[in-house]
Amino acid sequence: MKIIERRDSYIFVYYDEKNDVNSLITLMEEIAEACKKENIRKVLGDLSNMTGEPNFIDRFKLGIAGVKLLRGLAKIAIIYKQVESNRFAENVAVNRGLPTLITHDIEQAKRWLEND
């Protein structure tokens, strides 16, 4: 299932399908379009129920794609399973200018989005 909708001051995304680089890049394109349409610059994405685990190369590709497709957004918070490799994808995006937080804690993600 995939949901992309406006909630308060951010675009909310829920995705629980298979972890696939091409599908996730398409999802990012859809998110970028929703942000543009709604004139919103913050995203909260819940990928905690996505199936499969991306390898490091895929995490790098997704971080680079996120920077290209979501450039100009103020903040992106992603809820994902608690795994150490989350820091890698987050660092790829942040080091290229996309303010990103990847966490397993939805409340932490919401607080981070709210803080300007």
* Domain residue spans of the chain: 2-114
Question: Would you state the pLDDT for residue 85?
Answer: 61
* pTM (two decimals): 0.92
Structure tokens at 19: 């972890």
Q: Which CATH class is domain 2-114?
A: alpha beta
pLDDT in tens, 38-86: 999 999 999 999 998 888 899 889 989 999 999 999 999 999 988 766 6
